[in-house]
Chain A
Amino acid sequence: MSRPNEDLERVARWLDGEAIELTADQRALADELAADEAPVAVALDVEVPPGALHRVHARLRRSRRAGRWVRVRVAVAAAAAVVVGVGLLWLAPQAPAPAGPVPFETYLAEMARDPAPDLQAEVEALEMEIAQTRAQVVAGGPSEVTVALAKLAEDIRSCLVEDPQDEDEAIWRQWVDNL
């Protein structure tokens, strides 16, 4: 039989120890629940087997000891890392101290400086090269590049046309003669 939720809530609050008035119906429900609970509660009780709590405590102690060892190992490792770190810092060459911020006046002077004097030498060398090339073109002779390309073409042609077998035979004959 389903009961109104309000009844159930009131009975629960009453059974929880709240000082509230129950209707006769609600009180009957509370009594019924208590009557069902009593024998079940007796039946539910369990005896702890001998030694069980001792074994649980021993397990806890073992775990705590293991945890302590882990903490000790971590602490030793951390200490060793600190010692090594400090040693390395001590042995490392001292780096020069940072220069610090550049004064504003220096920065301004550097930015305002004319870069032309640094480039002047390069500009003059380029001008000389252009003048030489122009003179060669005017004179009509082959330029250095043309000569170099012609030589390269000749080398390639001779490599392709020469019969390597003849050359090998000549070397062989020369070796026999020497013997």
Chain B
Amino acid sequence: MDAQQLRAMIRQARAGSDEAYRDFLTAYGARLYGYFYRATSSAHDAEDLLGELMLRLLRRLGDYDERGRFEPWLFSIAANLVRDRIRRARTRPAPASLEADEGRGSLSETLGGADPPPDAGLARAEDRAALRAALATLDEESRQMVLLRHFAEMSFKDIADMFECPLGTALAKVHRALKALRRAMEEADHEPAE
């Protein structure tokens, strides 16, 4: 979506157009869903968080400064939602485990990873499991950096600004995390399939 289309969509959404919000979902829904899914490892949480994000967008779109860049702004809201959700799941683990019993997947198992994932790019279940497990071993900041770099297509400068760290630190953390993820996937590939 080019800048002009985006501006038009934002204006229509501010004016209350339902179509504009549908367009937002069409344009960003898949990436946001992917980000939420990878951040929580739960399809249920991902859909719920996407819904929350759209509601938040409804309330906060009026505050958006059109001179800024939309995607980093949008994904910073998404990152805050994920942070809140993870914090809540850690302080209230019991309801999360109930959800897991219903087979919907949840944040508590998330970071250990058991939700059947809707992955498209991986051929083997072992790879999916390895990626999820490797993501779970990363510290929260590194995981968020990798996910934002991929799904929000954030530059290192955007990441450094968001996490309030030097540019070099952002690059080092992303590099280290990517290496760990790649190694985990390669190890899974070398293991004999059951």
Seen from chain A, the residues whose Cβ lies within 8 Å of a Cβ on chain B are: 3, 5-9, 11-13, 15-17, 29, 32-33, 36-37, 39-49, 52-53, 55-57, 59-61, 63-64
Name the segment of B72-80, B92-100, B119-127 touching the other chain: B119-127
B156 & A36 in contact (Cβ 8 Å cutoff): no
Q: Contacts A16-B156, A63-B55, A63-B58 hold; do A36 and B175 have CB atoms under 8 A apart? A: yes
A33-B175 CB under 8 A given contacts A16-B156, A43-B121: yes
Given A43-B131, A53-B25, do A60 and B55 touch, yes or no (CB 8 Å)? yes
A57-B25 contact given A16-B157, A40-B146, CB 8 Å threshold: yes
User: B113 near A: Cβ within 8 Å?
Assistant: no
Beta-carbon contact of A8 and B171 below 8 Å: yes
Q: Which one of B1-9, B32-40, B61-69 is at the interface? A: B32-40
User: B29 near A: Cβ within 8 Å?
Assistant: yes
Is the pair A60, B33 in contact by a Cβ cutoff of 8 Å? Answer: no
- Please tell me if the beta carbons of A56 and B175 are within 8 angstroms of each other in the complex: no
Chain A residues whose CB sits within 8 angstroms of the CB of B88 once the complex forms:
none
Main secondary structure of the interface of B (DSSP, over half): helix
Asked if A48 and B147 make an inter-chain contact with CB atoms under 8 angstroms apart, the answer reads: no
Q: Knowing A33-B171, A36-B178, A43-B131 touch, does A48 contact B55 (C-beta < 8 A)? A: no
Looking at the complex, which one of B21, B127, B167 makes contact with A9 (CB distance below 8 Å)?
B167
Given A43-B127, A49-B118, A57-B22, the answer on whether A36 and B182 have CB atoms closer than 8 Å is yes
The number of residue pairs between A and B whose CB atoms lie closer than 8 Å in the complex comes to 136
Residue in contact with B47 in the complex, picked from A13, A37, A52, CB distance below 8 Å: A52
Tell me the interface secondary structure of chain A in the complex.
helix
Distance in angstroms from B124 CB to nearest chain A CB is 10
CB closest chain-A residue, reference B174: A33
Given contacts A43-B127, A57-B54, 12 further A-B contacts (CB under 8 A): A12-B170, A15-B155, A33-B171, A41-B150, A45-B34, A45-B121, A46-B33, A46-B120, A52-B29, A52-B33, A57-B22, A57-B25
Q: Which residues of B contact A3 (CB under 8 A)?
A: 172
Residues of B in contact with A, size category: 35 or more
- Distance, CA A37 to CA B178, complexed state (A): 6
Residue in A11, A44, A57, A59 whose CB lies within 8 Å of B147: A44
Cα of A42 to Cα of B113 in the assembled complex, Å: 19
Residues of chain B in range 21-53 having any CB-CB distance to chain A below 8 Å:
21-22, 25-26, 29-30, 33-34, 37-38, 43, 46-47, 50-51
Bound together, the chains give a CA A28 to CA B118 distance in angstroms of 35
Contact A49 B43 (CB under 8 A): yes
